[in-house]
């Protein structure tokens, strides 16, 4: 089934590269960014922040007991970012010019896009290095594993820095759009809102993944770890909501939320999800319960996804009126195929490499 979706996406991608963007997507001069940028790139890379969020928790705040969650999170980060990077190229009108990003004499230092592009590329490279021990262990390349391990502290440190930079830049990009963005979403705090929501999203993804994987593969439950993590997520999310609503009230932008528009509906849906997740994560009873924790994590992920969809597409009005956009069937199928590919590779990797439980012993020895 997943393979079929990947194959369909492959066909449309081929069509996209032979006949151009217009043949496959509904992108237009008014909406140069559509589903591919919003889902595959923005949300894809945000979903890929599990690794970053966990690395920060484990290494910066020295919470070693979370370590078993690290490798699965890193792996999903790697796929999230590879997907984001390839989506950028797929979505680029003149993708063959992409190499110019790597030529420093072509750099425009006042561009948020440059910062994002470079930072995402660098972080994807880092993720390959960070995940390499799994592959090296699998093939018993002990000498190489040690070499990588000796510089891992530096890699991890940069790996925590970079997402802070580009995930906030993904919000800064929207600052450039000015009046095109609804006042409900346009705020000087966009970068902070993006980077802090991505942190909560990263942890929620870890909860989601750990639950799904342990259930699907019938492994021992990791709920004791997830419950503690949930508390942290709850506070991050509560802080986020406070900042978001404080800013909305302070700017007096809430009027738009009461207008009978699709945006307002989407705004309330987004905030209802966030509120549900925050309450569930902060209530001790719900935290003790595996099912509620899982539901809260799903709600948080949905919230963060809807927030990004709203900010990048629903709340966005092109400078020239009259444009509308909804992804085409082919566009959606490409995205579905990419997701399918990601899940497929994740499952294959879990089976091939020591992702899930091996690290516990490794760390104990280290």
Binding positions for another protein, rule: CB under 8 A: 26, 28-31, 179, 211-212, 215, 289-291, 294-295, 298, 319-329, 331-333, 336
Residue 327 C-beta: closest distance to another protein, Å: 6
CB of 315 to another protein, least distance (A): 15
- Work out how close the CB of 29 gets to another protein at its nearest, in angstroms, rounded to a whole number: 8
CA–CA distance, 26 with 116 (Å, rounded to integer): 25
The answer to whether 225 and 72 are in contact (CB under 8 A) is no
Give the shortest CB-290-to-another protein separation in angstroms: 6
Which residues have CB under 8 Å from 231's CB, separation 6+?
281, 282, 287
Q: Measured at the alpha carbon of residue 264, what is the angle toward residues 261 and 265, in degrees to the nearest 5? A: 90
Q: How far is the CB of 325 from another protein (least distance, A)?
A: 5
Q: Which is nearer to another protein, 248 or 305 (CB)?
A: 305
Concatenated DSSP letters of 191-234: HHHHHHHHHHHHHHHHHHHHHHHHHHTTPPP-HHHHHHHHHHHH
**In Å, what is the CA distance from 115 to each residue of 172, 215, 301, 303, 337?**
10, 39, 26, 26, 28
Taking the complex as a whole, how short is the minimal distance between the CB of residue 212 and another protein, in angstroms? 7
Q: Closest separation between CB of residue 171 and another protein, Å?
A: 23
DSSP character string of 159-178:
HHHHHHHHHHHHHHHHHTTG
Ramachandran quadrant class, 20 (left: phi over 0; alpha: psi -120 to 50; beta: rest) = left
| 98 in Cβ contact with 106 (< 8 Å) | no
Question: For residues 351, 70, 192 and 88, what is the CA-based torsion angle, rounded to 10 degrees?
Answer: -30
Q: What is the dihedral of CA 223, 350, 53, 196, to 10 degrees?
A: -90
Neighbouring CB atoms inside 10 A of 318's CB total 16
């Amino acid at each position: 089934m997943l393979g079929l979706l990947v194959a369909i996406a492959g066909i449309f991608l081929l069509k996209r590269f032979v006949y151009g963007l217009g043949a496959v997507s509904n992108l237009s001069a008014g909406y140069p960014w559509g589903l591919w940028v919003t889902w595959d790139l923005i949300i894809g890379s945000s979903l890929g922040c599990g690794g970053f969020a966990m690395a920060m928790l484990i290494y910066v705040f020295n919470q070693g007991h979370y370590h078993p969650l690290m490798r699965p999170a890193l792996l999903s980060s790697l796929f999230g970012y590879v997907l984001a990077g390839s989506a950028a190229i797929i979505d680029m009108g003149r993708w063959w010019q992409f190499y110019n990003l790597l030529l420093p004499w072509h750099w425009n230092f006042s561009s948020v896009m440059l910062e994002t592009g470079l930072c995402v590329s660098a972080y994807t490279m880092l993720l390959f290095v960070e995940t390499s021990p799994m592959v090296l262990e699998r093939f018993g390349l002990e000498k190489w594993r040690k070499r990588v391990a000796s510089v891992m502290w530096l890699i991890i440190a940069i790996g925590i820095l970079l997402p802070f930079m580009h995930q906030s830049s993904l919000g800064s990009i929207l600052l450039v759009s000015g009046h095109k963005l609804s006042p409900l979403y346009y705020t000087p705090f966009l970068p902070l809102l993006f980077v802090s929501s991505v942190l909560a999203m990263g942890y929620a993804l870890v909860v989601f993944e750990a639950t799904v994987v342990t259930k699907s593969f019938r492994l021992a439950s990791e709920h004791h770890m997830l419950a503690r993590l949930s508390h942290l997520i709850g506070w991050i999310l509560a802080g986020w909501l406070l900042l978001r609503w404080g800013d909305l009230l302070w700017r007096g932008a809430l009027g738009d939320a009461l207008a009978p528009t699709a945006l307002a509906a989407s705004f309330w849906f987004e905030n209802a999800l966030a509120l549900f997740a925050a309450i569930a994560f902060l209530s001790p009873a719900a935290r003790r319960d595996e099912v509620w924790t899982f539901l809260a994590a799903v709600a948080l992920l949905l919230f963060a996804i809807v927030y990004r969809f709203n900010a990048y597409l629903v709340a966005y009005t092109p400078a020239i009126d009259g444009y509308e956009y909804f992804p085409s069937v082919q566009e959606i199928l490409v995205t579905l195929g990419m997701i399918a590919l990601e899940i497929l590779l994740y499952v294959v990797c879990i089976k091939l490499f020591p992702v899930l439980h091996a690290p516990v012993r490794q760390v104990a020895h280290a």
